[in-house]
Amino acid sequence: MGDKDKHLPDIQQTLKKHNFKINRALGQNFLFDLNITDKIVRHSKSIASTVIEIGPGAGSLTRSILKNKTAVVYAIDKDIRSKEMLSDLKLMYQDRLKIIIDDALSFPIWELGEAPRQVIANLPYNVGTKMLINWLKHIKKFDLLTLMFQKEVADRITAKPGSKNYGRLSILTNWLTHSSKLFDVPSEAFIPKPKVRSTIIQLKPLSKPLYDVPFNSLEKLTHLAFSQKRKMLKSSLKKINGEKILKELNISSNLRPENLSVIEFCKIAKFL
Ligand code: SAM
């Protein structure tokens, strides 16, 4: 901890030093404002002995994590060039920084290091929600997740019933975690500047799910209900004989999916 990283090159210098060409397909928008990366880490209050960072890229967030925490940091990036860009940090922090070059979409990150584990990440926009759904399936393995998403996606994840953003993502997330929005990050804080706005959210896993139901059933049901969002439940759930289930549960089949609570969705999913 402290200021021992003061002599490290800044992110622009790191990119230049390694003659780095941005790979847009990997959602590479690098944060260069270290005040923002420090702020993200300050909000990641967890006593985790392992921090997992997805997509360290040039290492700005990695640097703040290593400076402000004592945990072992596992940084996993799909781009092999990230290893070179993290080499100064690796020299400085040695065994506290483990660099993994792999696809975090298929890598079982919940097995990395020792529990308790927390995830801190500025996620690649194009695959962020897919990653989140994977991790929700193993939510018990995490103590806290602090994640940056495109603002609209962050709104969908943290949405409450009845709101226009409420849907599959909010139901699965709020069934298993307490979700909250922390703050927005201006696009000027990135190189290159993204077209979309970004928001940091935090997910604190609940000690047990709001309701006991298999993940796959709830995932299937929410997919079915929200793929025809404007329709009443009696039509969108026709395939699964929804009207009968809703009647048994005393839920009106004239409602639209956004009107149902997370627990009501769980109760319906239990029939699948
Ligand atoms: N953490 C850095 C920061 O905040 O400046 C970079 C964040 S950038 C938005 C996303 C990073 O995720 C890039 O470094 C990219 O190479 C990496 N990435 C993209 N797809 C990935 C995947 N499937 N698995 C692991 N890393 C991935």
22, 136, 200, 217, 242 from 213: Cα distances, Å: 43, 14, 29, 7, 17
- Percent of the chain topping pLDDT 90: 90
- Please check whether residues 59 and 180 belong to one and the same domain: yes
What is the model's pLDDT at position 189?
A: 94
Mean pLDDT for 184-211 is: 96
- Please check whether residues 69 and 133 belong to one and the same domain: yes
Q: What residues pair up with 106 in beta bridges, in sequence order?
A: none
Burial of residue 201, with CB atoms counted within 10 A of its CB: 0-12 exposed, 13-18 middle, 19 or more buried: buried
- The reply to whether 262 falls in a domain is yes
Q: What is the dihedral of CA 38, 141, 268, 201, to 10 degrees?
A: 0
- Please check whether residues 48 and 108 belong to one and the same domain: yes
| Confidence at 246, pLDDT banded by 50, 70, 90 | very high
- Please check whether residues 194 and 224 belong to one and the same domain: no
| Confidence at 177, pLDDT banded by 50, 70, 90 | very high
- The reply to whether 172 falls in a domain is yes
Pocket probe mutation, ligand 1, options 39, 54, 64, 198, max atoms within 8 Å of Cβ: 54
pLDDT higher than 60, residue 2: no
DSSP string computed for 181-192: EEEEE-GGGEES
The pTM assigned to this predicted structure is 0.95
DSSP string computed for 23-83: -GGGT--EE--HHHHHHHHHH-----SEEEEE--TTSHHHHHHHHH--SEEEEEES-THHH
- Please check whether residues 223 and 197 belong to one and the same domain: no
Q: Which of the listed residues 168, 185, 205 is the one where a domain comes to its end?
A: 205
What is the model's pLDDT at position 47?
A: 86
Chain mean pLDDT for the chain: 95
Backbone dihedral angles phi then psi of residue 99, each to the nearest 5 degrees = -100, 130
The encoded tokens of residue 77 equal 């990036």
The number of distinct structural domains making up the chain is 2
- Please check whether residues 124 and 244 belong to one and the same domain: no
What is the model's pLDDT at position 5?
A: 75
pLDDT higher than 80, residue 167: yes
CA of 231 to the centre of ligand 1 (A): 37
- Please check whether residues 255 and 156 belong to one and the same domain: no
What is the model's pLDDT at position 272?
A: 84
What CATH number is attached to the domain comprising 242?
1.10.8.100
Residue nearest to atom 21 of ligand 1 (CA): 78
CA–CA dist 141, 138 (Å, integer): 6
- The reply to whether 47 falls in a domain is yes
Residue-wise pLDDT for 7-42, tens only, equals 788 888 999 999 999 999 999 999 999 999 999 999
- Please check whether residues 242 and 197 belong to one and the same domain: no
- The reply to whether 100 falls in a domain is yes
Q: E strand or H helix at 178, and its extent?
A: strand 177-185
Task: Give the residue, 121 or 8, on which the prediction is more confident.
Answer: 121
Backbone dihedral angles phi then psi of residue 208, each to the nearest 5 degrees = -150, 155
Mean pLDDT for 88-92 is: 96
- Please check whether residues 35 and 160 belong to one and the same domain: yes
What is the model's pLDDT at position 6?
A: 74
- Percent of the chain topping pLDDT 70: 99
72-77 vs 97-101, strand pairing mode: parallel
What CATH number is attached to the domain comprising 80?
3.40.50.150
The residue assigned the tokens 């109760």 is 267
pLDDT higher than 80, residue 4: no
pLDDT higher than 90, residue 1: no
Q: Which of the listed residues 178, 205, 232 is the one where a domain comes to its end?
A: 205
- The reply to whether 183 falls in a domain is yes
- The reply to whether 210 falls in a domain is no
Residue-wise pLDDT for 124-137, tens only, equals 999 999 999 999 99
- The reply to whether 59 falls in a domain is yes
| Confidence at 229, pLDDT banded by 50, 70, 90 | confident
CB 269 within 8 A of CB 218: yes
- Please check whether residues 118 and 238 belong to one and the same domain: no
- The reply to whether 173 falls in a domain is yes
Q: Which of the listed residues 205, 236, 256 is the one where a domain comes to its end?
A: 205
- Please check whether residues 115 and 167 belong to one and the same domain: yes
- Please check whether residues 116 and 231 belong to one and the same domain: no
Pocket of ligand 1 (CB under 6 A): 26-31, 54-58, 60-61, 76-79, 82, 103-105, 122, 124, 127
pLDDT higher than 80, residue 256: yes
Q: Which domain holds residue 246?
A: 215-271
